[in-house]
């Protein structure tokens, strides 16, 4: 029996191999058909309506999109939510799903440079949830991988069943400048995409969204199919997703330095040499100077202009990212805050004096109730919604709204081998229209006393940055308390807004430098405030933005974990990092605060006692 088996099994293997060799193609086809069926419900056919020629509304163009969560948020292109020749974004749309139903939708946020847009569908019945597609990781894509594109090709999906095309990834990390659009880090594919596919999903064969269709490459032969198309990698869209959900009209970023390719001797690899650094840039403050050689930006090796543009072109402004450069043979690494960069809009259509202003699209349907125009935002309604959600979550941890009296923190501090006790005192705050407001912040650090009346007339910039080497810790504590107690009302002129998502680098508690900045990175939601001409940013922890902790979150959900207060816009802000959250008297409060300025730690404060009235 045993012998028989031994002889039989290779035979079997051979037979099986033959059978299997015939099957995979059909199996793969079956898998594909199943996958398409599964994905179809999440693909959206977007239609615009115009009311000029027909007061009841006429379908005027459209595109595609993909639903990314059960609430009905839809990712699409910027050029779908902001139609050419119109002023501002198109507020509302109708969207068809593969169930054959039309849904009202509103534009939520957009990223013009990256050509991404976010819409929200409104359920037809109360409690209706939406089928959605999972987002993948576009950094895993390789040339030669299979992809599927689904969407409203040629606007032919009149029954809202998306069309499907199938092809290869032709390239990744592509930089291409078509004049009217500059694509960085783009996915290049030979999968067919037509007009109407814009904004539609590019799926990998696991059924995850790995990109969004930008459109075809404009060939020199006119509107000729060039066999190649370009797409926005989903990882770039993810960088802007929290921003877009908060209704923001996003800006991209620049390093604040220009770079030249230095071509050395023949055969050598190119080197990227810093040419000029803007004085007001963070890069300049971090020490980057003319002649430095760029090595790595945000984890990517930089060996060509294309790579540099692609590495930089995927981030929102103000993000801090690691930069490695070489000077006189030494490798240096630092964190750099990116500056805002918004390329000029290339206006099409008649412009200039006498030309009629381009028409403004009209809001209609359910979405009209959820659309609020404001400068700097695609839809301010969603900014308020997200901001208030963050603040409501904070309230669950600690409600400060009745604590506008005196706050006293006592504890110990540790500063460059020195240490001792400290006391911080923050007196009452009042609303801006109150006539008598004399807030006073004092701090005793060891034997030294510091004092600031933040609203006093005639303060010098030296007063404002007290104590020295903090960048303005007293002012920061004042702003911190004011924001916690008054919330949005603490900022003048509607300047308390949600500012999207940013990385926060939490340096090791022992004061050492981390091996890799990525290892200490925490993703946080940002609320921006501005009071007494001092802008500040406050960072809130959200578990779902930090899958790297695998559920073992280092902070309570919704906690305020960091702050950045810019006393003077041309110098480094004062940075506060809160940790060691404990429940004290029914409130979850931080018991440790690190204060940093520039790239140095000022001190670590251990707060032993909170007194808040």
Contact between residue 394 and residue 540 where contact means Cβ atoms under 8 Å apart: yes
Taking CB under 8 A as the criterion, the residue among 55, 100, 127, 222 binding other proteins is 222
Does residue 223 touch other proteins according to CB under 8 A? yes
- For 400-455, give the DSSP string: -TT--S-EEEEEEEEETTEEEEEEEEE-----TT-S-----EEEEETTEEEEE-TT
Q: Which is nearer to other proteins, 136 or 563 (CB)?
A: 136
Which two tokens mark 182? 């500059």
Backbone angles phi, psi at 372, to 5 degrees: -135, 120
Nearest-approach distance from CB 48 to other proteins, in angstroms: 21
Stretch that binds other proteins, among 142-150, 357-365, 450-458, 591-599 (CB under 8 A): 142-150
Nearest-approach distance from CB 143 to other proteins, in angstroms: 4
Does residue 303 touch other proteins according to CB under 8 A? yes
Does residue 20 touch other proteins according to CB under 8 A? yes
Distance CA 328, CA 338 (A): 25
Look-up: residue for tokens 């790995």? Answer: 210
The alpha-helical segments, DSSP class H, found in 159-304 are 234-245, 282-285
Distance CA 86, CA 376 (A): 17
Which of 578, 528, 584 minimizes the C-alpha distance to 554?
578
13's enclosing H/E stretch is helix 2-39
Nearest-approach distance from CB 152 to other proteins, in angstroms: 23
Which two tokens mark 154? 């040629």
Does residue 461 touch other proteins according to CB under 8 A? no
Does residue 3 touch other proteins according to CB under 8 A? no
Does residue 405 touch other proteins according to CB under 8 A? no
Name every residue whose Cβ is closer than 8 Å to that of residue 464 and which is 6 or more positions away in sequence. Answer: 452, 472, 475, 567, 568
Count of residues touching other proteins (by CB under 8 A):
59
Stretch that binds other proteins, among 11-19, 366-374, 469-477, 594-602 (CB under 8 A): 11-19
Nearest-approach distance from CB 364 to other proteins, in angstroms: 29
Contact between residue 224 and residue 175 where contact means Cβ atoms under 8 Å apart: no
Does a cis peptide bond (omega within 30 degrees of 0) precede residue 595?
no
Stretch that binds other proteins, among 66-74, 206-214, 217-225, 497-505 (CB under 8 A): 217-225
Does residue 373 touch other proteins according to CB under 8 A? no
Taking CB under 8 A as the criterion, the residue among 60, 270, 335, 545 binding other proteins is 270
Does residue 165 touch other proteins according to CB under 8 A? no
The whole-angstrom distance between residue 219's C-alpha and the CA centroid of its chain comes to 32
Does residue 33 touch other proteins according to CB under 8 A? no
Interface residues for other proteins in 173-192 (CB under 8 A)?
173-176, 188, 190
Does residue 312 touch other proteins according to CB under 8 A? no
Contact between residue 77 and residue 111 where contact means Cβ atoms under 8 Å apart: no
- By the criterion CB under 8 A, which residues form the site for other proteins? 5, 8-9, 12-13, 16-17, 19-21, 23-24, 27-28, 31, 142-146, 167-176, 188, 190, 217, 219-228, 263, 265-270, 303-307, 348-351
């Amino acid at each position: 029996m045993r012998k028989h088996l031994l002889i039989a099994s290779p035979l079997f293997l051979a037979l099986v191999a033959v059978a299997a060799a015939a099957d995979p193609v059909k199996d793969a086809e079956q898998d594909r058909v199943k996958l398409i069926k599964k994905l179809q419900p999440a693909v959206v056919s977007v239609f615009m309506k115009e009311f000029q020629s027909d007061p009841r509304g006429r379908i005027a163009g459209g595109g595609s999109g993909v639903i990314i969560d059960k609430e009905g948020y839809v990712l699409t292109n910027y050029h779908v939510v902001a139609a050419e020749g119109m002023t501002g974004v198109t507020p509302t749309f109708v969207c068809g799903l593969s169930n054959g139903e039309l849904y009202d939708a509103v534009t939520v946020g957009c990223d013009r440079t990256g050509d991404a847009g976010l819409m929200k569908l409104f359920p037809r019945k109360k409690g209706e949830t939406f089928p959605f597609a999972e987002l993948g990781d576009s950094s895993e894509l390789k040339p030669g991988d299979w992809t599927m594109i689904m969407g409203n090709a040629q606007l032919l999906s009149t029954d809202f069943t998306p069309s499907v095309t199938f092809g290869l990834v032709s390239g990744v990390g592509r930089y291409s400048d078509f004049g009217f659009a500059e694509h960085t880090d783009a996915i290049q594919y030979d999968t067919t995409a037509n007009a109407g596919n814009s904004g539609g999903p590019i799926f990998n064969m696991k059924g995850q969204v790995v990109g969004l269709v930008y459109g075809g490459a404009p060939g020199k032969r006119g509107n000729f199919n060039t066999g190649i198309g370009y797409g926005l990698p989903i990882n770039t869209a993810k960088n802007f997703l929290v921003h877009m959900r908060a209704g923001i009209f996003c800006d991209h970023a620049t390093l604040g330095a220009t770079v030249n390719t230095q071509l050395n001797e023949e055969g050598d690899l190119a080197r990227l040499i810093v040419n000029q650094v803007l004085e007001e840039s963070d890069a300049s403050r971090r020490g980057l100077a003319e002649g430095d050689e760029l090595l790595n930006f945000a984890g990517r090796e930089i060996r060509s202009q294309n790579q540099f543009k692609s590495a930089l072109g995927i981030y929102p402004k103000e993000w801090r990212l690691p930069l490695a450069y070489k000077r006189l043979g030494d490798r240096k690494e630092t964190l750099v805050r990116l500056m805002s960069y918004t390329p000029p809009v290339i206006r099409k259509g008649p412009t200039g004096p006498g030309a009629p202003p381009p028409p403004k699209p009209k809001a209609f349907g359910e979405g009209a109730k959820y659309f609020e125009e404001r400068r700097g935002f695609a839809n301010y309604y969603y900014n308020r919604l997200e901001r208030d959600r963050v603040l409501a979550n904070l309230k669950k941890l600690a409600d400060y709204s009745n604590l506008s009296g005196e706050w006293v923190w006592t504890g110990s501090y540790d500063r460059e081998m020195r240490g001792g006790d400290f006391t911080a005192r923050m007196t009452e705050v009042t609303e801006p229209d109150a006539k008598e407001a004399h807030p006073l912040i004092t701090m005793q650090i060891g034997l030294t006393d510091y004092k600031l009346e933040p609203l006093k007339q005639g303060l010098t910039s030296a007063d404002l940055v007290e104590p020295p080497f903090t960048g303005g810790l007293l002012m920061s504590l004042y702003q911190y308390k004011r924001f916690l107690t008054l919330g949005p009302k603490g900022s003048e002129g509607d300047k308390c807004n949600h500012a999207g998502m940013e990385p926060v680098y939490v340096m090791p508690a022992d004061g050492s430098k981390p091996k890799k900045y990525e290892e200490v990175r925490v993703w946080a939601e940002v609320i921006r405030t501005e009071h007494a001409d001092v802008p500040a940013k406050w960072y809130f922890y959200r578990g779902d933005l930090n899958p790297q902790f695998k559920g073992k979150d280092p902070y309570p959900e919704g906690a305020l974990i960091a702050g950045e207060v810019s006393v003077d816009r041309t110098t480094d802000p004062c940075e506060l990092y809160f940790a060691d959250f404990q429940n004290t008297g029914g409130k979850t409060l931080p018991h440790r605060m690190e204060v940093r300025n520039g790239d140095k730690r000022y001190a670590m404060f251990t707060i032993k006692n909170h007194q808040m009235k």
